[in-house]
Every structure is written in structure tokens, then in C-alpha cells.
Amino acid sequence: MWSRTIYLLPRRLSKDRHILSFHSNLRKASSAGTIQKADNKQVTKSESLGGEYVQKALKPITNEPFVKNLFLGNFDKDALIYPELTKEQLDDINQLVQPIERFFDEVDSKTIDEKAKIPDDVLQQLKDLGLFGQQIPAEYGGLGLNATEFARLAEITALDGSISVTLAAHQSIGLKGILIAGTESQKQKYLPKLATGEHVAAFCLTEPSSGSDAASIQTRATLSEDGKTFYLNGGKIWISNGGIADVFTVFAKTEIEKDGEKVDKVTAFIVEREFGGVTNGKPEDKLGIRGSNTCEVHFDNTPVPIENVIGEVGGGFKVAMNILNSGRFSMGSSGAGVLKKMMGMVAEHATTRAQFGQYLSEFPLIKEKFARLAITTYVMESMAYLTAGTLDAYEQPDLSLEAAIVKIFSSEGCWVCANECLQILGGLGYMKDYPYERLLRDGRILMIFEGTNEILRMFVALQGCQHAGKQLKELVKKIRNPLANPGLFFGTLKKRVMSDPLKPPLKLHLDEEVHPSLKTAAQSLETGTFIFQTAVERVLERYGNKVVHEQLDLKRLANIVIDLYAMTSCIARTSRSLSIGLRNSDHELLITNTFCYEADLRIKHEMQQLLKGKTENTDETIHKIADLVFKNKGYAASHPLERNW
């Protein structure tokens, strides 16, 4: 029986099993006992009363945001318990995987790339397979997949970049607004046709003058005098599915009254092509994902009924951010899906191609590349499924930072790994006869769209600082004013002089939460957590509210916390694999230990640079170098052959 209720078990339920195998933690043991009972009860209750009771009883409303709390130095040990599906859930998802794998085996990605178009029959088959309605609930005709299942299918659909982006533009952003913020009647009207792919959706935010700065859009919606219709005017660019979509989620400025003053605020609308006045440009010619349809979309006095506002009038910016935040987590699994496929093909080459009388696979420099491919892929997967599993465990999860971290790490991981694959292949990788250069080109967009990695790094660091700032406000204020608070100031100073910020004492005992083989890795995670807490405090003291302008230090904070979340994910996953004895779990252990060792070095390096301050760590000179380049409108140093005498 495919029912939502089977996914409502909180994560703790399944995760206690393997932890119990070697922990004498009584708290966990007892809570596992009670939850097991609840589990049994669920079966009977859901049969007699329907899902409602169960849902409220078993699925907690929201989580303590793990990454945000890291900014305060708080480590939620539950994050080290990797989410698990039940046997039945796993069988179900594997059943769905099969036909999609077969279908994607036969997709001709080379032709899609060359012709810059997904053939209509392929698109129709994707629709028939049900792939256009993956996360739309079953009552609206979709598959009702949860985040974990969606992530699993994304591993396969990602194998063709053009198809992957077409699907994502449709359901991860295009129709997501209706799904998460739409009214019941909007859902009933639009979702069934979107689920079958009879209608295709697109997300229209970006404009020529408004990219990362989404609040600056110029497209305008003006309310008619009778108050029933908005008239939409403006142009959007680089809209995925822009030429094939029937339903658009459009963001436009509307004038609203706030405190007696008229201000412009962003509002989200559902716009049908049928409404009239909707035109699109010709498909853009792109570096990668060439078969995905990317167009300009123009709205010329397009009438939109007021009931097609998504959320509140003036509440569109929040809708846009929620849509984008909710879609990012799947980039981890999709990236890993592509890399696993690529690794297989490249490994085949490396084990059969001989040079200097040796197979490539015997050269340490090649081995190093494969090890890094495996590590990066492993971390991407671990993060993606930890995030997805947590998303599934709560009613209204707060995972915006985790999802952004998955996106940053995975998009960069894909680029670096695809690049290394080409390097291993040598000249062969550069040839269009092989798929590798296409995969490299297709992957490049990942670092740009759905929020550039630069914006997302700032987002992660600033959201985290804001979360920490609320709690640290008093402390920071006092430390920044030593004359008024001499005791605290000197106390803190003493603590700092006496202790090495890079070698904090270990008090959390994270190593006791995981498989004993992961002791060292868990200890570096704990060290990193403390270092990060100190880093956040220093940054906040140093800059206070002006921290928003300190992008280079914010980047350091983001980099540290990305590594911390990555370490947490793979330690948790490896601990589970070792405890239940999965095949090749010793391989996983090597991967995690290697990754954590290097992450530890990176974290300490970032911290050293941060402690040094701008004058010593070259941040200032970086600014100066760039400033002269801009002043000069280009490269400013004299030509090496130049003489001035």
C-alpha cells in the first residue's frame, strides 16, 4: 500500500537500531522502546482512524536547525544517526528506479546536445513515466514522493543534463510555489495537469537587471480598478522551459500600502500562457544543458485574476526564497548519480589502457584522482540523503542552510570531478565522440543557477550569524565595549591567551556517539565545531552589524561550516554502514577518515587566516589588486618587455 503514513515515522525510530548495537546510552534505549510501541500503535490507528491522528502523533513539527546551531557551537548529536528507510520503503523505491534506469539507458544524450532539443517523443515518454509529477501528492495525480525518494530518482534523471534541468525547472521551481504556498483551489486547478505533464511549468524570476538580487525586479503587476485582475508587464530572461511552458510562476512588483505609505513589494503569480500577452524569445544557445529550453519570456498587459496570487500580495519574495530553498537538496544526489556513472566509464579506461608498460590504474597520480572522485561522490551522497531524510522527518523542516550547503558542495564537486575525469582520459576526454566533455559542460551551470555559490556562501554565513547573533548579542556588545565591562573583557582575554583556539578541549564526546573505528574522525569534527564557534564569535565581535560587508571572512565561515556538515554526514553514514555490516563498509571508513583528515586541515587553515586579520592574511592586498584592475578597466601591470628608460 502506497500511503503517506508510512513515511511519517520520525527519524529516531529507525536510527536507534544500529546505534543501540554498541551504545550503552540508556536515554536512547528507553526512547527507542517507547517509539517502537508507538510504531505498533501506528498500524492499528492508521487503519481505524486514517492518517490524520498518526501524522500529528508521530511527525514532529520542526527540527532544531542543525547547521544554524553550529554557529553557536551547539552540536545536535542526533545528526550523527543516519536516516534509514524501512525495508518496505526501500523495496518500493527500488521498484520505481528500475524502469527509469532502463529508460535513461536508451536516451541519446549526444543528439539532444547536438540538436539542442529534447525530442518530443522522449519528452512524452518522460511524462508517461510519471516523472513530471514526482513530488505532487497522489490526490492531485502525482506520485507523492518524499524528499528521499525524489533524491533517489534524481540520481538517474540527472544522467542527461538537459532532461534533468527540464524536469527541475518544471517541478523543483516551476510548480513548487503552487505546491508549498498555493491555496486548495489553486492546487486543484493546476496540479493535476502539471502532474501528468499535460502542462509544463516554468519559474520566472530573473530579469536583465535583476539576477542574484531578486528583490530588484522591474516587472510590474498593476491591479485593475475593480480589484479583480492584475495586469502584468515586463520581461524575464533565461527562463528554463520558457518556450514550452503553459503555466508560469511569475514574480512582479506590486504597489501595496504599508503604514499609510505606498511601497513596491514583490508578489508571486500563477500565469497561464492562455491568459494572453505572453510571448517568448528563441531558445538561447548555451554552453551546456543545451537541450533544455531557455528563453526570454515577455508579459504585455497579461491579465491575471487576483485569485492567482501565490501566498499574499507583497509576500512574493518569501515565496521565491522558499521555493529555491526547498529545491536545492537534490543536487547532491543528482551530482553523485552522474559522477558514479562517469567513474565507472573512466575506471574501465584506466584499467585497460597501458602506457610505459603499466595500466593507468597502477600509477599513483591516477590512483589519487580516483580516490578523490570516490571521496567527493561519497560526501555528496551522504549529505544529500542526510538532508533528505531530515526533510522527511518533520512537518515544516528548517533546512535552508543544509540544502544550500549540499548545493555548494555538490556543484563544485561535480565540476572538479568531471574535470579530473577528463584529465585521466587525456586527449580522449576532449573529443566530442565521447560523452565526457558534454558532462563537463552540462555540469558547469550547477555553480551558477538556483543561487550562485557566492550568494549561497553569503546566505549560509549570514543566516548562521544572524541566528547566533540573536543569542550572542549581549556578549558581543559587552566585549566590543571593554571599558564598560572590564571584568568580562579581561576574563575573555585571559581565556583566549591561555587557550589555543586551534586546539580546544573536547567536551562533547562525539566519538562516543559513533562506531569506535571513527574515533579520530569524530574528534576532528568536534575540534572543528569548537573552532567554528570561536570563529563566529570573533567575526561578530570584530564587525558587529557590519559583518554583511565582510565577504572574505564570511566565505571562511561558510567554508568551515560546509566542511562540518560534510564531516557529520559521512561520519554518520559510515557509522551506520559499519554497525550493520554493509558490503565494503571498510572502504567507506577509509573514505570518511581521509575526508575528515583533510577537512580538519582546511578548517584550521581557514581559522588561522581569520585570526590573522585582513592586514596579515592578504585580504587587504586582494582588495587593492582588484581595485586597480577595475580602475584600469583591465589588467594593470606593465608588459614584461616594457622599458621606461
Is the Cβ of residue 92 or residue 255 nearer to another protein in the bound state? 92
The Cβ of residue 315 has, within 10 Å, a number of other Cβ atoms equal to 17
Q: Kind of pairing, strands 294-305 and 229-240?
A: antiparallel
Q: How far is CA 525 from CA 369, 507, 533, in A?
A: 25, 12, 12
100 in contact with another protein (CB under 8 A) = yes
Query: Do residues 12 and 32 lie in contact, with contact meaning Cβ atoms separated by under 8 Å?
Result: yes
Q: Could you tell me which residues come within 8 angstroms of residue 334 by beta carbon, excluding any fewer than 6 positions away?
A: 151, 154, 155, 157, 158, 164, 410
Distance CA(328)–CA(339), nearest Å, equals 18
Residue nearer to another protein on the CB measure, 70 or 96: 96
Q: Is 361 in the site for another protein (CB under 8 A)?
A: no
Min CB(111)–another protein separation in Å = 20
Q: Which of 52, 91, 139, 348 binds another protein (CB under 8 A)?
A: 91
Q: How far is the C-alpha of 592 from the C-alpha of 569, rounded, in Å?
A: 9
Q: Is 47 in the site for another protein (CB under 8 A)?
A: no
Which cell numbers in the block locate residue 153?
530518482
Piece of the chain touching another protein by CB under 8 A; list 40-48, 134-142, 226-234, 489-497: 134-142
Strands 261-272 and 309-310: what pairing?
antiparallel
Nearest distance, CB of residue 1 and another protein, angstroms = 6
Instruction: For residues 622 and 530, give the distance between their C-alpha atoms in angstroms, rounded to a whole number.
Output: 28
User: CB-wise, 580 or 626, nearer to another protein?
Assistant: 580
CA dist 119 and 126 (Å) reads: 11
Which is nearer to another protein, 94 or 423 (by Cβ)?
94
Q: Which stretch binds another protein (CB under 8 A): 133-141, 172-180, 447-455, 506-514?
A: 133-141
By the rule CB under 8 A, 121 interacts with another protein: no
Q: Which part of the chain contacts another protein (CB under 8 A), choosing from 28-36, 102-110, 458-466, 602-610?
A: 102-110
C-alpha–C-alpha distance, residues 318 and 181, integer Å: 10
Q: Binding pattern to another protein, positions 573-602, x when CB under 8 A?
A: ----------x-------------------
In the DSSP assignment, the letter for residue 434 is S
Listed in sequence order, the DSSP H helices in 486-550 are 486-498, 519-543
Looking at beta carbons only, is 144 or 337 nearer to another protein? 144
CB of 143 to another protein, least distance (A): 5
The contacts of residue 145 (CB under 8 Å, 6+ apart) are 134, 135, 153
DSSP state of 358: E
Q: How far is it, in rounded angstroms, from Cα 99 to Cα 101?
A: 5
Of the pair 121, 500, the CB lying nearest another protein is at 121
Cell numbers standing for residue 93? 523505491
**Smaller CB separation from another protein, 100 or 252:** 100
Closest to 612 measured CA to CA, from 434, 621, 205:
621
Nearest distance from C-beta of residue 106 to another protein, angstroms: 10
Spatial distance between the Cα atoms of 535 and 513, rounded to a whole number of angstroms: 25
| Residue 513 appears among annotated catalytic residues | no
94 is an interface residue for another protein by CB under 8 A:
yes
Residue from 32, 67, 131, 406 touching another protein (CB under 8 A): that is 131
CB of 154 to another protein, least distance (A): 13
* Cβ contacts of 71 within 8 Å, gap of 6 or more: 464, 465, 467, 468, 532, 533, 536, 557, 561
Residue written as grid cell 535583476: 210
Q: In whole angstroms, give the CA distance from residue 554 to residue 610.
A: 10
For another protein, which is the closer residue by CB, 128 or 300? Answer: 128
Of the candidate spans 51-59, 122-130, 176-184, 273-281, the one that interacts with another protein by CB under 8 A turns out to be 122-130
Segment contacting another protein by CB under 8 A, of 129-137, 410-418, 432-440, 544-552: 129-137
CB of 14 to another protein, least distance (A): 21
User: Under the criterion CB under 8 A, does residue 98 sit at the interface with another protein?
Assistant: yes
- Which of 87/262 has CB closer to another protein? 87
103 binds another protein (CB under 8 A): yes
User: Residues in contact with another protein, total (CB under 8 A)?
Assistant: 25
Helix (H, G, I), strand (E, B) or coil at 239: strand
Residue selected from 39, 76, 92, 541 as contacting another protein according to rule CB under 8 A: 92
- 108: contact with another protein by CB under 8 A: no
Q: H/E element holding 300?
A: strand 294-305
Determine which residue in the list 20, 35, 116, 129 makes contact with another protein, applying CB under 8 A.
Answer: 129
Residue 87 near another protein by CB under 8 A = no
Round to whole Å and give the CA distance between 589 and 60. 32
Smaller CB separation from another protein, 99 or 613: 99
Q: Which stretch binds another protein (CB under 8 A): 91-99, 301-309, 339-347, 538-546?
A: 91-99
Q: In whole angstroms, how close is the CB of 135 to another protein at the nearest point?
A: 12
138 binds another protein (CB under 8 A): yes
DSSP 590-627: HHHHHHHHHHHHHHHHHHHHHHH-TTTSSHHHHHHHHH
Only segment of 101-109, 427-435, 502-510, 538-546 that touches another protein (CB under 8 A):
101-109
Catalytic residue, from 450, 526, 588, 606: name it.
450
Strands (E), 306-385: 309-310, 354-355, 358-359
Question: Is residue 99 within the footprint of another protein (CB under 8 A)?
Answer: yes
Minimum CB distance to another protein, residue 139 (Å): 12
User: Shortest distance, CB of residue 52 to another protein, whole angstroms?
Assistant: 21
Which residue, 297, 240, 283, 296, is CA-closest to 115?
283
- Indicate left, alpha or beta for 68 from its phi (over 0: left) and psi (-120 to 50: alpha): alpha
The nearer residue to another protein, 143 or 165, going by C-beta atoms, is 143
- To another protein, the closest distance from the beta carbon of 561 in angstroms equals 36
CB of 556 to another protein, least distance (A): 44
CB environment 497-529: b (16+ within 10 A), e (fewer): eeeebeebeeebebbebbbeebeebbbbbbbbb
Residues within the interface to another protein (CB under 8 A): 1-2, 91-92, 94-96, 98-100, 102-103, 105, 125, 128-131, 133-134, 138, 141, 143-144, 583
Where in the sequence numbering do the catalytic residues fall? 450
